Structure 1
Amino acid sequence: MRHPVPIILAALLALSLPVSAVGTAGTAGSTGSATVANESDDEEQTFQFQNPSVSVEGDHAQLEGTPNRLVLRGDGKTAYATPTLDFALAVSSHDESIHTDCRTYAFENSLGEIEDDENRTEAVVSELERIEERVEKLREREQAIVAANAAGDVSEDEVLRTLARNSYEAQVLQQALNDLDDQSAGIIDISDSVDALTAELEVYRGPIRTDIERSIRGVDESDDAPESNPTILLESAPDGLTLSMLDGDTYVRETTRYDNRARDRSDQIRTMDNARTTAQELYPWAFETTSGTYTIKHEATNLYQVQALSHDQGQLTVYLDGGSNAVYHERQTLDRDSIPIETTDSMSSDNVTATLERTPDTAPARITVTESESETPVDATVSVDGTVVGETGEDGKVWFVPPTDGFELTVRAESTSLNAVEFPRR
């Protein structure tokens, strides 16, 4: 039996080209006239759509109707990655946990044998410094593997394994800190240092990193693991990393700028009021719509943690570095359906139409695939740069997380393949 030949439509969505009646833009741009070129007898067509750019001021993309976003600098790499079980890492993580438990037990015994208060204090401080050094090694390890990935020297799988290792070690170190805090009671108050290191460890225990760790270590359903391994968009640069994914109806994004970490410099922010004011200036929409804020100063690690607890689309957490007076780490969880659609473009064959709806800064985005005449939903598979990112549901729709640095989009139905090339927006 002969199979129908797919109809290929290439749609070029350019930043500054004049163009398309097929596309509509929201607050960020407008549309022009459409051009269609029949370049061969096989019905290949070229559509050009206007794709409004996103401005960047300082370290942040400036967005309308949603919180601004911390961005990366320098040439890097963007790719999708899915964490899978790594038995060797799972075993080594278990060994690390046992080793830490043994050290905690041994330290408690040795502390009980020290009678002199001054020596007991020195022992606690020494153990605290040892844990602090291990926390710093987490950052050094992550920064090194991310820079290597940005340079093309290591794979995304290696980055995921390092993130999983750091996430689990952060959990183990947190328990060690809590135990040391209990052991030091009546000897020396280390609660401020424990709180400060806890805040630093939270960078490695965000929701995306936790999902990566659980998937690679093979945590089962009874331990509250995700139902399936998540597909994660990983954007690496010499001095930074962005992770983003969809978790049900929630868009999650975590960005770390290693070059903004200056722990050993003098504190330029100084007060919690100044930290809150800085965060409000960097993320005006989030703080204008939030129902409350939370700010804390971690003097021991030169970090300020500022949160917009519940703004109109979700939650924002920012870690400001006192030494650099800049954002070291940003975490955003946004209700997918509350983020405004900024631009809409469509591409069609004789029988299928695919409509791409972009939110500010491109992600997340939604594809709707229907029959061209009846608008009946169509089953289709959506791929970005050759990686399948989703399949349409009964309503013909699927949400996905596209890169911001340009990508090739393919929507494949039963007998039709629609292709689009998206150019960078920043």
Structure 2
Amino acid sequence: MKALPLVVVMLLVASPVLGAVGPVDGSTQAAALDQADPAQVQSPSNGTIHVLDIPSSELVQATVEPHHVDLGPSLDFAALQAGGQIQTGASIERIESAADDSTRQQLILDEINSIEQRAIALQSTQRTAIEQFNAGELTARELLVRLARIDAEARGLNERRVALHELATETPDFSINSGRLAALERELDTFTGPVRRHVVSVMTGQSEAARFSVRTSESGVVLSVVADGEYVRESFRADLRDRDQSSVTYEEALDIVANNYPIIYSSRAAQNGTNVISAGDSHRVRINYNNGQLTAYVDAGSGQVFKESQSRPLGSISTGTAATEIKDGLRLTVNRTYPGGPLRIQLNETESDAPVDANVTIGLEASQESTLLGHTGADGTLWTVSPSSPYTITVIRGNSAVVLTTSPTPIPDLVTNATAENDTSAMGTSTPTDSTSSISAVAQGSPAGAPAVV
């Protein structure tokens, strides 16, 4: 469906029933009303949820890497965090100790310039890490560690950005362009993601060991993991960006996401279900829906979704296409999924259908090695991420064993970056009301043609 025309957005902002809308990081904010028709809400499954992934023709590397607590990277992450905090503290102290307001203003600007330069360096670091992994110069573990370091540094730089903005607001007769600060935040977003953050959590011992799916193209990377009862994925495609252009408005960005993720969009929450933030050369569209959350980044030049993160509770995921093997009184069911998708393994007794707790291993068809996944537990269920190639699941309980060889399914509904002109009939209807606000759009600094609303 189409986003509300901007003139409607502006009128609704003025409506007293919405209450006061304050500035975000010095930027202007507009609120639009958009309520999902309950009759149109669909229950998403991994057969209908669109994902931003890498087409098979562009795939360079694909693997699943088990990770656990690791002292080396753990100390490295701790040092990185401590170093960032020390540098931020030193910067703040230097600014607050400035002899006069003019010096204080210059120090703030110097610090912001420094963060912007570091963001440019992180682009190069990320690109080099992907290229080295593709060339076999980095292992999957080493790539994950590097991406996690980039994530940690980007988050630290953003914290410094926020602190500098606060200092700027406290400085007499001084302000920093809100669009510049917002654009810097969006740029730093490019290097962060929920899967990268979980890598840090696992390696520092804050979370249990996990298996991470890693898929790369020449300049893109897709990561996924099953953690804390959720399936989490993130993807980044540098090839879908066009930094030389900036013509897509935040309204168009919402339309683009609605067209590319129709089931998620039609399932969005009635209250505060959709949020759009426009800054720099991208738009961030976040949708909270019945069974999860989507954050999609639309490039303001190409008009394409170039970055995505999704999280979905395991209990909301469809079991998908099943492959079953029965032997020695055991029934092994593998609900197949796409490469890097949420893979469910179920073990039951054949006669009573009672769940069975047993160890599970997985091996790739092209390899003679198997990896212990864990055990099925009291409910007989084990979740993991799917390999990108044929694999064998083996379960052993005492003298009984069952083996199943199968393959991943095709990637479901790969995001094709459909334009707003495509048919949107599957997305339901939107009816403005006086009490329900499910879309908030933040036009920060009007970077991509979005007028400031005051």
TM-score band by shorter chain is 0.7 to 0.9
Q: Tell me what 2:247 maps to.
A: 268
Query: Which residues in structure 2 correspond to 1:309-320 (within 5 Å)?
Result: 309=288, 311-320=289-298
Kindly provide the amino acid, as one letter, of the partner of residue 346 in structure 1: T
Contact 1:406 1:423 in 2 (8 A): yes
RMSD in angstroms over aligned alpha carbons? Answer: 2.7
Cα distance 1:407–1:108, how it changes in 2: closer, same or farther (>3 A)? farther
Kindly provide the amino acid, as one letter, of the partner of residue 274 in structure 2: T
Q: Tell me what 2:216 maps to.
A: 236
Tell me which of 40, 47, 53 is aligned to 1:71.
53
Query: Equivalents in 1 of 2:215, 2:191: separation in Å?
Result: 16
Matched, 1:105 2:93: yes
Tell me which of 353, 373, 387 is aligned to 1:403.
387
Contact 1:68 1:283 in 2 (8 A): yes
Kindly provide the amino acid, as one letter, of the partner of residue 49 in structure 2: P
Cα distance, 1:253 vs structure 2: 0.8
Matched, 1:145 2:125: no
Query: Equivalents in 2 of 1:205, 1:414: separation in Å?
Result: 44
Q: Tell me what 2:188 maps to.
A: 201
Cα distance 1:423–1:367, how it changes in 2: closer, same or farther (>3 A)? closer
Contact 1:406 1:424 in 2 (8 A): no
Cα distance 1:88–1:368, how it changes in 2: closer, same or farther (>3 A)? closer
Aligned length: 349
Helix, strand or coil for the counterpart of 1:201?
helix
Cα distance, 1:165 vs structure 2: 1.5
Q: Tell me what 2:67 maps to.
A: 82
Cα distance 1:235–1:134, how it changes in 2: closer, same or farther (>3 A)? same
| Unaligned residue ranges in structure 1 (runs of 5+) | 1-61, 220-224
The Cα offsets for residues 94-123 of structure 1, whole Å up to 9 and x where unpaired, read as: 2343234323433443xx33555xx76555
Query: Equivalents in 1 of 2:316, 2:186: separation in Å?
Result: 29
Cα distance, 1:203 vs structure 2: 4.1
Contact 1:404 1:424 in 2 (8 A): no
Give the stretch that moved more between structures: 134-143 or 196-205. Answer: 196-205
Query: Which residues in structure 2 correspond to 1:93-242 (within 5 Å)?
Result: 93=80, 94-109=82-97, 112-113=98-99, 116=102, 123-185=107-169, 186-216=173-203, 218=204, 225-226=206-207, 228-242=208-222
Helix, strand or coil for the counterpart of 1:317?
strand
The Cα offsets for residues 19-74 of structure 1, whole Å up to 9 and x where unpaired, read as: xxxxxxxxxxxxxxxxxxxxxxxxxxxxxxxxxxxxxxxxxxx9876420001133
Helix, strand or coil for the counterpart of 1:69?
coil
Cα distance 1:342–1:161, how it changes in 2: closer, same or farther (>3 A)? closer
Q: Tell me what 1:39 maps to.
A: none
Give the structure, 1 or 2, with the largest relative contact order (CA under 8 Å, sep 6 or more).
2
Cα distance 1:360–1:158, how it changes in 2: closer, same or farther (>3 A)? closer
**Which structure has the highest strand share of the two?**
1
The Cα offsets for residues 334-358 of structure 1, whole Å up to 9 and x where unpaired, read as: 1222222221121122332201123
Helix, strand or coil for the counterpart of 1:128?
helix
The Cα offsets for residues 183-210 of structure 1, whole Å up to 9 and x where unpaired, read as: 2223123333222322333344432222
Helix, strand or coil for the counterpart of 2:141?
helix
The Cα offsets for residues 110-143 of structure 1, whole Å up to 9 and x where unpaired, read as: xx33555xx7655544432221121222232122
The Cα offsets for residues 257-290 of structure 1, whole Å up to 9 and x where unpaired, read as: 1222333x11131x11100001111111111111
The Cα offsets for residues 291-315 of structure 1, whole Å up to 9 and x where unpaired, read as: 22111210x3x01011212x22211
Contact 1:76 1:151 in 2 (8 A): no
Contact 1:235 1:241 in 2 (8 A): yes
Cα distance, 1:368 vs structure 2: 1.5
Contact 2:321 2:337 in 1 (8 A): yes
Q: Tell me what 1:283 maps to.
A: 261
Query: Equivalents in 1 of 2:217, 2:396: separation in Å?
Result: 32
Contact 1:163 1:213 in 2 (8 A): no
Query: Equivalents in 2 of 1:79, 1:342: separation in Å?
Result: 21
Cα distance, 1:424 vs structure 2: 5.9
Helix, strand or coil for the counterpart of 2:341?
strand
Give the stretch that moved more between structures: 382-391 or 311-320. Answer: 382-391
Q: Tell me what 1:222 maps to.
A: none
Matched, 1:348 2:336: no
Query: Equivalents in 1 of 2:371, 2:120: separation in Å?
Result: 35
